[in-house]
Amino acid sequence: MRASWDPIGGEPSRVRPSRRPERTGVRSRSRAGRLVATYGWRAYAVPFLVAVTVLAVVDVVQPGTPTTSTVATSTSADGTDPGSTDFGSLSTGADGPDIIGVPPAGDGTFNPAVVSGSLPDGGTFPVTGAGTWHVVPGSTGQVGTGTTSVIKYTVEVEDGMDTTPFGGDAAVASLVDQTLANPKSWTSDGRFALQRIDSGTPTFRISLSSQMTVRADDECGYQIELETSCYNRTAGRVVLNVARWVRGAIAFQGDTGSYRQYMVNHEVGHAIGFRQHQPCESDGGLAPVMMQQTFGVANDAIAALDPAGVVPANGFTCRFNPWPFPRG
If one compares 82 and 295, the residue with the highest pLDDT of the two is 295
Q: How confident is the model at residue 306 (pLDDT cuts 50, 70, 90)?
A: confident
Q: Give which of 299, 293, 301 is closest to 312, Cα–Cα.
A: 299
Q: How confident is the model at residue 97 (pLDDT cuts 50, 70, 90)?
A: low
If one compares 91 and 206, the residue with the highest pLDDT of the two is 206
Q: Average pLDDT, stretch 182-208? A: 97
CA atoms within 13 A on the CB side of 15: 2
If one compares 90 and 55, the residue with the highest pLDDT of the two is 90
What is the reported pLDDT for 39? 55
44 and 32 Cβ atoms separated by less than 8 Å: no
Beta strand residue intervals within the chain, DSSP E:
99-100, 133-135, 149-158, 192-196, 204-209, 230-232, 237-241
* pLDDT-above-90 percentage for the chain: 60
pLDDT value at 5 more than 50? no
Q: How confident is the model at residue 103 (pLDDT cuts 50, 70, 90)?
A: low
Please state, in angstroms and rounded to a whole number, the distance separating the CA atoms of residues 173 and 134: 12
Q: How confident is the model at residue 224 (pLDDT cuts 50, 70, 90)?
A: confident
The angle formed by the CA atoms of residues 143, 231 and 241, to the nearest 5 degrees, is 95
pTM: 0.73
- Determine whether 154 is exposed, middle or buried from the number of CB atoms within 10 Å of its CB (0-12, 13-18, 19+): buried
Give pLDDT tens digits for 25-58. Answer: 444 455 555 544 555 555 555 555 445 444 443 3
Please state, in angstroms and rounded to a whole number, the distance separating the CA atoms of residues 202 and 225: 31
DSSP state of 178: H
| 102-116, 174-188, 214-228, 300-314 — most confident range | 174-188
pLDDT value at 110 more than 90? no
Output the CATH code of domain 121-278. Answer: 3.40.390
What is the reported pLDDT for 280? 96
What is the reported pLDDT for 38? 55
pLDDT value at 70 more than 70? no
What is the reported pLDDT for 223? 83
Q: How confident is the model at residue 2 (pLDDT cuts 50, 70, 90)?
A: very low
Please state, in angstroms and rounded to a whole number, the distance separating the CA atoms of residues 44 and 21: 28
If one compares 163 and 81, the residue with the highest pLDDT of the two is 163
Mean of the per-residue pLDDT values for the chain? 79
pLDDT value at 6 more than 90? no
Q: Average pLDDT, stretch 278-306? A: 94
